[in-house]
Structure 1
């Protein structure tokens, strides 16, 4: 009996030791995996888990499984996560820790269907499970679903309310703002001591456009943490109030890297000399340890580029030892903004594995150049990019834009027609391209196709449509299409100055003036379009009156050209002389339009003096001589035309295009003066030389139908 008792005791002791060892082993494994995950060594954490897996997963604790799933989530390893799910599927019903981790894995790996299935089949839903779903919906840009899920929660905690505010911030709509106000009015006062929650509330208010409410809440907060300052600064930038973001930065004693990034973003938005000086000052004062933060360096490069200091940005970029894609992106974007597309393309060639953002910027650079070489590069890169990128609608939009601006309309149309999921910017890229090609009919055809397909237009689309109508200049067609623009769009400044231009070019200056006079503070473009409208309709005196009312800081090359053109078309030579003499920095275009004005008035001796003045320190310009030829043709002065043409042959012997156009004008002058033989001889010589006349387009509208005809110029 004693021996039996001893054997039983020994057996119990062994079992107890084994259980103790298993528990101890589980605790150690969980702790080791947690340490590896905390140190972002996710692969090692999974390797450790798999070493212990074998067939004993049922004995693993929840903490071990959740650590394994956490590693899968960070690695984006959906397949391995699904394998773990299959091994422990029976435990998901009772273990909400594992269920929460699985939902988080599926959501972060964009497998919404699996996450939703697991959520729907879970009987007891704890707040952490709701939180994982809401966080996932926000990650997957489905904020509406996150809000719908929040409404199912009886007693939300601070975390779920925080996620709710994040969802509303993502939507940024008036409806979302109403929800934010409703929920924030109901939450317990105790929650207002939670700085993370308040930061999310400030962010939601700012992104929904309620700056005043956000400022009030911020000012009332007794304890302000950096995340709250960050939410306010980010909100000011989003609402185009960069100056306020900078003022708020000055109140922060110890800004962190995130706050510095926001300051640089604010300065980038201002793009002023003062902003540039602040960027330089702050960047020289930030701790050296921050210079290893690639996000901060990217923002600094962006700010320098947008403030126009390309040289400083290049120096900083060259000194950076570790260059990440975002830094290349900031430099390429900056080069494009500073009209240095060639440099952006050169930088692209240094990147080994460009992502979709970098390729997008390359297409933008090529679009800015618009040359045959740029088109070749666009075709070469678009043929080699990963198929995955072809589903990127933003990339396809940039590709369409580049093809159109490089003149490959056929390729662009083919790509557009093949694209199944068309977004509005794609229509805008095509319409803008058609307008640049002086093909407004195609723009209107595409707009009509949008209507047939029940696609609502955006501000960009309607801007393209208005510009197409400006090119056509038919009042009845303008009237019929403008009625289709939503009323809310008419407050947009770009729409307003496009309409001023359109009504002026369609012969209804009264309608253009009506819009202009309603503007509280007309900008430079609106003044330019109004003056141009007066000029095109022979209302030079009105144009001059408005010119002298303009703020002096608006005066630039475009304004000078418009006002001198207005004088030219109205025969106001003395007024043109006065304006021309007052211009300090005269460009080639300004000289050209003044010569045109004098030539129209048959003041050829004076026009010749202005040409001599220009050529004193500039190379000859063919357009100035073409203006003289046009003036001579108008009064049928064949002698002056021949003299001018002979002089052009000496000056532009290496250029065929201006001489061809000049020869056509010379032939027309002889023909109009009655010397048909001379005119025929010139035309025959042109034909023998193989020089091609340029094709011109003329258009007309009959009964609402648009007709185009080709003409030889």
Structure 2
């Protein structure tokens, strides 16, 4: 055992026969030690490392770098300190450059090196660089190190590659609480709530005791997945082990969970169980009630909060501004802005200013939105993204693309929100093109966001719109762990290009992977069936919505089925289905049925459809003209002329009901 310990000391020491314990008071031993320290540069190395550490902790990164460059000898600790210093100062590219230089100079990494560098790559989105670092981890044999493995798991979770993260996690010889919590957090952020309980059960089997953070992730995941019953069970367990009282974040997570599940009564009970002196819980409940559209309750709590002497936070005001968007109440939004200015949160608060830009834009007042943007002292990425989203909402798509160019030119940078919004704008812009889509795709690759869910889905939509569905499929295949939204995008891409059968195959793969399709997914699949003439498959998908997935078809799903059956000439079945639709008085569906009757020459169903259509829209001349054309095509010219005369009369009545008045302001 003694010999193994000696391996950690320099060879010059281990070759001596000194006994440090027995000769501490010996003058000869003391002189020998002093002589060694004078001739050994490692003593200076140790003191310089301490000095660099102190300078970085005091915020003097430039001084630390100056000392680093003067050092004649540097070891792995020296490099680790500098890399970590750049990481703490949010300078990821410089941190990675010094890591590259360290490897180039032949300095062997330690576990601390890998943890710091992987954290840098993860936070900065340097995914390609991170994969290279992972190769070094494997080459140097650090794969089983818990700290390094934890950084790798966190990295791949943030990249959206659940499969690789779980494979690394499973291959570890043992798992601790920190790594388990990283996996749980990844499941929450990637909306893989259904995997949370499998992980929680595995923790119990391996006797890994959960803490308050564990319950925070579990409860948050239950809210994301709308697992209300499971969340209540977790609540009971958290009370039993004492985490609700001991951990404020767990208590606040319960408030958010019940609000997300629509159980605001239990949300308020959970809030009232928290001690009154906690300002976080006050801001949490106020913002959640505001976000739920319960303005009166939110304002009452807001008043109570201030009467208790608790200062509202940015989160509360952002919640109120989002509530103004939800109820399209710009006057209320302006009142919140006045209160924000009064309390001194704006200008200067990026979150509040972003919320204000967003509020005005989503309420249709784009001039005020631009005015807030222009008054901001510093244009940050978040501020620009808010204006970009507002411009897109108001249909000013050319300015979205112009703003994107401005952000690149001024060095503001781009993120997944910027790229996704710009791609959506390019789809409806007059200047949008396949070339524009490719340019934005290149930007996504260069900035490291090509695997982001929102960006990938926008690219899938863009390429499929321009007819390049093979590129959409290629992007989808490159995703490590596609979620339900990604599957919906590719199914929609296939439907748009008349490839309904391929869309159904994707729907089947989606189900096998345990992902739950939603209303939009089914609508895209049915659209694909309609465009491809897949009648039996469309019936199967439509019937499975309610019987298997518990989703009641809405008006759009019925309309799609009526269109599918009408195209196939199954007009009696289409009419029967239409009569059972939730919105039986929908004129669009009856119009679609009448059009199918004209194509297939079905006079019996066509007469009934024409009659219903005219009854539904008695004041719309277009419905009469459609009915008139139908009767003309089946040879009943007299009825056709009578209906056409009614249509002309309706049109004249509508035109006479409008007048143009010019006011001469100079008279």
TM-score, normalisation: structure 2: 0.63
Quick check: 1:81–1:105 contact (8 Å CA) kept in 2? yes
Q: Which residue of the partner structure matches residue 137 of structure 2?
A: 119
- Give me the whole-angstrom Cα distance separating, in 2, the residues matched to 1:312 and 1:197: 39
- Give me the whole-angstrom Cα distance separating, in 2, the residues matched to 1:452 and 1:285: 60
- Give me the whole-angstrom Cα distance separating, in 2, the residues matched to 1:400 and 1:494: 32
Query: Quick check: 1:144 aligned with 2:163?
Result: yes
Q: CA RMSD in A?
A: 5.3
Q: Which runs of 5+ in 1 are unaligned?
A: 1-5, 435-441, 517-525, 539-564, 572-592, 601-629, 656-713
Q: Which residue of the partner structure matches residue 277 of structure 1?
A: 299
Q: Which residue of the partner structure matches residue 101 of structure 1?
A: 116
- Give me the whole-angstrom Cα distance separating, in 2, the residues matched to 1:359 and 1:85: 33
- Give me the whole-angstrom Cα distance separating, in 2, the residues matched to 1:261 and 1:536: 51
- Give me the whole-angstrom Cα distance separating, in 1, the residues matched to 2:385 and 2:303: 32
Report matched runs for 1:265-304 at 5 Å.
Answer: 265-278=287-300, 280-281=302-303, 284-285=306-307, 291=313, 294=314, 297-303=317-323
Flag the 1:534–1:198 CA change in 2: closer, same or farther, 3 A. Answer: same
Quick check: 1:400–1:429 contact (8 Å CA) kept in 2? yes
Write out per-residue CA displacement over residues 493-517 of structure 1, whole angstroms, 9 at most, x where no aligned residue: 6952202344568673421343x4x
Q: Which residue of the partner structure matches residue 511 of structure 1?
A: 577
1:330 pairs with 338, 347, 355, which one? Answer: 355
Report matched runs for 1:252-651 at 5 Å.
Answer: 252-254=274-276, 256=278, 258-278=280-300, 280-281=302-303, 284-285=306-307, 291=313, 294=314, 297-303=317-323, 305-306=325-326, 308=329, 309-319=332-342, 320-351=345-376, 354=379, 358-370=383-395, 374=396, 377-378=399-400, 380-386=402-408, 394-399=417-422, 401-402=424-425, 408-409=429-430, 411=432, 415-416=436-437, 423-425=456-458, 446-448=496-498, 456=506, 460=520, 463=523, 479=535, 482=538, 496-502=554-560, 508-514=574-580, 516=581, 526-527=582-583, 569-570=614-615, 634=645, 651=659
Report matched runs for 1:8-87 at 5 Å.
Answer: 12=32, 14-15=34-35, 18=38, 26=46, 30=50, 33=53, 36-37=56-57, 41=59, 44-45=60-61, 47-48=63-64, 50-58=66-74, 62=77, 66-74=80-88, 75-83=90-98, 86-87=101-102
Query: Quick check: 1:199 aligned with 2:207?
Result: no
Q: Shift in Å at residue 331 of structure 1?
A: 1.9
Flag the 1:313–1:428 CA change in 2: closer, same or farther, 3 A. Answer: farther
Quick check: 1:348–1:358 contact (8 Å CA) kept in 2? yes
Quick check: 1:364–1:398 contact (8 Å CA) kept in 2? yes
Write out per-residue CA displacement over residues 572-631 of structure 1, whole angstroms, 9 at most, x where no aligned residue: xxxxxxxxxxxxxxxxxxxxx78669x99xxxxxxxxxxxxxxxxxxxxxxxxxxxxx99
Flag the 1:70–1:413 CA change in 2: closer, same or farther, 3 A. Answer: closer
- Give me the whole-angstrom Cα distance separating, in 1, the residues matched to 2:550 and 2:459: 21
Q: Shift in Å at residue 450 of structure 1?
A: 8.5
Quick check: 1:206–1:236 contact (8 Å CA) kept in 2? yes
- Give me the whole-angstrom Cα distance separating, in 2, the residues matched to 1:81 and 1:368: 39
Write out per-residue CA displacement over residues 181-223 of structure 1, whole angstroms, 9 at most, x where no aligned residue: 431331427x24x333343444445545544333223323332
- Give me the whole-angstrom Cα distance separating, in 2, the residues matched to 1:418 and 1:97: 39
- Give me the whole-angstrom Cα distance separating, in 1, the residues matched to 2:41 and 2:338: 60
Flag the 1:255–1:245 CA change in 2: closer, same or farther, 3 A. Answer: farther
Flag the 1:366–1:233 CA change in 2: closer, same or farther, 3 A. Answer: same
Quick check: 1:301–1:331 contact (8 Å CA) kept in 2? yes
- Give me the whole-angstrom Cα distance separating, in 1, the residues matched to 2:585 and 2:131: 54
Q: Shift in Å at residue 138 of structure 1?
A: 3.0
Flag the 1:228–1:25 CA change in 2: closer, same or farther, 3 A. Answer: same
Flag the 1:381–1:107 CA change in 2: closer, same or farther, 3 A. Answer: closer
Q: Which residue of the partner structure matches residue 255 of structure 2?
A: 233
Q: Shift in Å at residue 120 of structure 1?
A: 0.7
Flag the 1:116–1:489 CA change in 2: closer, same or farther, 3 A. Answer: farther
- Give me the whole-angstrom Cα distance separating, in 2, the residues matched to 1:475 and 1:16: 85
2:163 counterpart SS class: helix
Q: Which runs of 5+ in 2 are unaligned?
A: 1-25, 442-449, 468-491, 508-516, 595-609, 625-640
Q: Shift in Å at residue 16 of structure 1?
A: 6.2
More divergent stretch after superposition (449-458 vs 260-269): 449-458
Q: Which residue of the partner structure matches residue 638 of structure 2?
A: none
Q: Shift in Å at residue 116 of structure 1?
A: 0.3
Q: Which residue of the partner structure matches residue 659 of structure 1?
A: none
Quick check: 1:168–1:177 contact (8 Å CA) kept in 2? yes
Q: Looking at CA atoms only, which structure, 1 or 2, has the larger radius of gyration? A: 1
Write out per-residue CA displacement over residues 418-475 of structure 1, whole angstroms, 9 at most, x where no aligned residue: 66578444666899999xxxxxxx9998332687799958854764787899xxxx99
Q: Which has the higher contact order (CA 8 A, sep 6+)?
A: 2
TM-score, normalisation: structure 1: 0.59
Q: Which residue of the partner structure matches residue 234 of structure 2?
A: 217
- Give me the whole-angstrom Cα distance separating, in 2, the residues matched to 1:635 and 1:357: 56
Q: Shift in Å at residue 271 of structure 1?
A: 0.9
Write out per-residue CA displacement over residues 243-275 of structure 1, whole angstroms, 9 at most, x where no aligned residue: 543442222114655544543442244213444
- Give me the whole-angstrom Cα distance separating, in 2, the residues matched to 1:32 and 1:641: 83
2:272 pairs with 246, 250, 258, which one? Answer: 250
Flag the 1:386–1:637 CA change in 2: closer, same or farther, 3 A. Answer: closer
